[in-house]
Chains A and B, each alone.
Chain A
Amino acid sequence: MSEAILKVEGTHTFIGQHHILQGISFDAKADAVTVLIGRNGAGKSTALKTVIGLLPSSEGRIMFKGNEIQKKKPYEIARMGIGFVPEDMGIFANLTVEENMRVAMLVEDEATAQRLERTLDIFSDLGKFWKAQAGILSGGQKQMLAIARAIVNDTSLLLIDEPSKGLAPILVDALIEAINQIKEYSVVVLVEQNFYMASSVGDYFYILDDGMVVHGGLMEDLVNDEELKSKYLGISKAAE
């Protein structure tokens, strides 16, 4: 079994007075896509924000490549090689696509230039709209820009929060294809409510419920476990 690049151990996170994460533990293995799934309010997005440092954990340990990162600032964590694509995509609406990409490049060297070209190969629409203001792109294009921005650096771990949210089915398929390409060179932790997408790209899964991990394992096992899907994800065989 491959080594875990990210280990979250017994992590608690509060947002104001609310105890959102109540001691969650999960890991992200190398060369794989790990999907965090669960109902609304289960703590999936909070888990990603805690890993990147946007929300402070009050207890527990987060290890990235063997280093503790739970006390680090978001910019320090990002510079260690963790990319984050938030749920709202977080694109800079007043900047052009090019400026969005350039601002994401922490180093402008030959390797970054190559990664940029590779990224534009995956998301060819971005090349077309290179000089367009990012705020007026379509939802799918914005999502692609948000992911492209995260992978243009030497990112060894990519955290993506609900990329399929609000996208048309055809765009979800394009996104699945893109993530399958990205996983060739970066470990991905994905938060996803769309089970079709989660099962299409995921290798491992963790089900979160009320701020706790209640199940975890191989995605192919979850796909075949009707009881688990029905209990925690509200998916019945008839609905599929």
Chain B
Amino acid sequence: MAEPTPVQIFRIEEKRKQYRSGSFFLKIGILALFVLVPFVFPSYKTVDLAMQIIMFATLVASFDILLGYTGILSFGHGMFFGIGAYCVAFLIGKYGMPSYLNLALGFVTAALTASALALLISFLSLRVKAIFFAMITLAIAELAIVLATGLSHFTGGEDGISLSMPGIFAVSFSIGDFMGLEITGSVLTYYFIFLSCLGLFLLMLRFTHSPLGRVLQAIRDNVQRAEALGYKTFIFQIISITFGCVVAAIIGGLYAMWVGYVNPASSLEVMAIMLNVLLMVIIGGMGTLYGGIVGAAFLLITQTFLPDLQNLAKDFFPQATLLHNVLERWLLLFGILFILVVIFFPKGVIGSVQDYISRRKTILLGKE
């Protein structure tokens, strides 16, 4: 039998290590945590926080496909999220009725609308220069808010649209207790959204680890070089943008399912959503996908629990007025935490850890 080549040796070694690495068990642990949240912490605040982390982690990952994997900055990602939310709201709320078919149609409409708009914007802007994509998405996103607010007879205006969920997702639905937890429509919606986001995340992982994903990263690193290797970079950029925007729209639809309400302020507040997404991707690390989980968890947990710290301080240290004053300004603490993360993890938490592991691996390889 012929000697295995270096490439074959590496592949065998990779497979052997795949299910024994620390990162594999960490991923399983995180998944288990999200599965158990409704059972272990059944309060609405905690379940809602876990749901927001799941949805935003997936949204950040979809944004990372554009920015981290293709090097394209978009200010319209929040808009695609909003388009998804409105499509679902139209189909099961204002212009339809709560049924599984309408819910499915809502998601299909969201995906089709998002892909058509993403294609249109890409064709208009990318032929000139990638930076125009950022500018056009910003302009169109602002226009979307104006339209959603102005066309009130169509979109519900600033009052928005309230939704009722069909069948097992309805708030009133209950199938009784399981391990001490009442399995209501909200609990089932939580698991439906969790599984959908997990599916989308795995799809994005597959996308970025495919040959197509490698080409996208090559384009991000050096467009001219990728062209000289034989790739029509424009087409690859369009595929990436469309994919990322469709995922964002689907998450928007899932978000509408969870909050049961859609209005321009909550779903189309482009800059607010975009700012959060940008902060999350910076904290987690660009071009990692997993960075979205860290970024979303960091931002949402601190935003949720930092304001509570002042109450805790008042309970435990009633005389410490300076501490109360500092904790009252929790945004200041958040700012300091953010700066510390950026200083100690310049490539984001996951990006810096990956970088460190990669350097160590290279040094070890060099010593062999």
- A→B interface (CB under 8 Å): 52-54, 73-75, 78-79, 84, 86, 90, 92-95, 98-99, 102-104, 106, 108, 116-117, 120, 127-133, 136-137, 149, 153
Known contacts: A90-B225, A94-B217. The answer to whether A120 contacts B230 by CB under 8 A is no
Decide if A74 touches B218 in the complex (CB within 8 Å): no
Decide if B230 touches A79 in the complex (CB within 8 Å): yes
List A contacts of B14 (CB < 8 A): 131
Decide if A74 touches B227 in the complex (CB within 8 Å): yes
Contact of A130 among B6, B218, B225, B355 (CB under 8 A): B6
Most interface-central of B7, B215, B228, B231 (chain A CB within 10 A): B228
Q: Which residue of A lies closest to B14 (CB)?
A: A131
29 contacts between A and B (CB under 8 A): A54-B227, A73-B232, A74-B227, A75-B227, A75-B232, A78-B227, A86-B225, A86-B228, A90-B222, A90-B224, A92-B225, A93-B221, A95-B217, A95-B218, A98-B7, A98-B10, A102-B211, A102-B214, A103-B211, A103-B218, A106-B230, A120-B7, A128-B368, A129-B366, A130-B6, A131-B14, A131-B361, A132-B365, A136-B359
Contact of B362 among A75, A94, A136, A149 (CB under 8 A): A136
What CA separation (Å) do A116 and B359 show in the bound complex? 25
Decide if A73 touches B227 in the complex (CB within 8 Å): yes
**Shortest CB–CB separation between residue B217 and chain A, in angstroms?**
6
List B contacts of A74 (CB < 8 A): 224, 227-228
List B contacts of A86 (CB < 8 A): 225, 228
Decide if A92 touches B217 in the complex (CB within 8 Å): yes
Q: Is B303 an interface residue (CB 8 A)?
A: no
Question: Given A86-B228, A102-B214, A131-B361, 11 other A-B contacts at CB below 8 A?
Answer: A75-B233, A92-B222, A92-B225, A120-B6, A128-B6, A130-B10, A131-B10, A131-B14, A132-B362, A133-B359, A136-B362
**Shortest CB–CB separation between residue B269 and chain A, in angstroms?**
33
**Shortest CB–CB separation between residue A156 and chain B, in angstroms?**
14
Contact of A103 among B214, B287, B366 (CB under 8 A): B214
Q: Is B5 an interface residue (CB 8 A)?
A: yes
Question: Which residues of B, 226-251, contact A by the 8 Å Cβ criterion?
Answer: 226-233
Q: Is B321 an interface residue (CB 8 A)?
A: no
Q: Is B311 an interface residue (CB 8 A)?
A: no
What CA separation (Å) do A151 and B7 show in the bound complex? 17
What CA separation (Å) do A102 and B11 show in the bound complex? 14
- B→A interface (CB under 8 Å): 5-7, 10, 14, 211, 214-215, 217-218, 220-222, 224-233, 287, 355, 358-359, 361-362, 365-366, 368
Decide if B229 touches A103 in the complex (CB within 8 Å): yes
Known contacts: A74-B228, A117-B5, A131-B10. The answer to whether A94 contacts B361 by CB under 8 A is no
Decide if B287 touches A94 in the complex (CB within 8 Å): yes
10 interchain residue pairs of minimum CB distance:
A127-B6, A78-B230, A90-B225, A132-B362, A92-B221, A74-B227, A133-B358, A103-B214, A79-B230, A103-B218
List B contacts of A98 (CB < 8 A): 7, 10
Contact of B228 among A90, A131, A132, A137 (CB under 8 A): A90
Decide if A128 touches B217 in the complex (CB within 8 Å): no
Q: Which residue of B lies closest to A95 (CB)?
A: B217
Known contacts: A102-B214, A103-B218, A132-B365. The answer to whether A75 contacts B230 by CB under 8 A is yes
List B contacts of A132 (CB < 8 A): 358, 361-362, 365
List B contacts of A120 (CB < 8 A): 5-7
**Shortest CB–CB separation between residue A50 and chain B, in angstroms?**
12
Decide if A84 touches B228 in the complex (CB within 8 Å): yes
What CA separation (Å) do A78 and B232 show in the bound complex? 11
List A contacts of B368 (CB < 8 A): 128
What CA separation (Å) do A222 and B287 show in the bound complex? 50
What CA separation (Å) do A99 and B214 show in the bound complex? 7
Contact of B229 among A93, A108, A128, A149 (CB under 8 A): A149
What CA separation (Å) do A53 and B227 show in the bound complex? 9
Decide if B362 touches A129 in the complex (CB within 8 Å): yes
List B contacts of A127 (CB < 8 A): 5-7
What CA separation (Å) do A94 and B220 show in the bound complex? 9
Known contacts: A99-B214, A120-B5, A120-B6. The answer to whether A104 contacts B362 by CB under 8 A is no
Q: Which residue of B lies closest to A153 (CB)?
A: B230
Decide if A103 touches B7 in the complex (CB within 8 Å): no
Q: Which residue of A lies closest to B13 (CB)?
A: A131
**Shortest CB–CB separation between residue B39 and chain A, in angstroms?**
40
What CA separation (Å) do A79 and B226 show in the bound complex? 12
List A contacts of B361 (CB < 8 A): 131-132
**Shortest CB–CB separation between residue A109 and chain B, in angstroms?**
13
Q: Which residue of B lies closest to A93 (CB)?
A: B221
What CA separation (Å) do A95 and B14 show in the bound complex? 17
Decide if B227 touches A99 in the complex (CB within 8 Å): no
Decide if A128 touches B231 in the complex (CB within 8 Å): no
**Shortest CB–CB separation between residue A81 and chain B, in angstroms?**
10
What CA separation (Å) do A132 and B354 show in the bound complex? 11
What CA separation (Å) do A2 and B11 show in the bound complex? 43
List A contacts of B355 (CB < 8 A): 133
What CA separation (Å) do A212 and B89 show in the bound complex? 67
**Shortest CB–CB separation between residue A74 and chain B, in angstroms?**
4
List A contacts of B362 (CB < 8 A): 129, 132-133, 136-137
What CA separation (Å) do A73 and B217 show in the bound complex? 21
**Shortest CB–CB separation between residue A221 and chain B, in angstroms?**
33
Q: Which residue of B lies closest to A113 (CB)?
A: B7
List A contacts of B233 (CB < 8 A): 75
**Shortest CB–CB separation between residue B363 and chain A, in angstroms?**
9
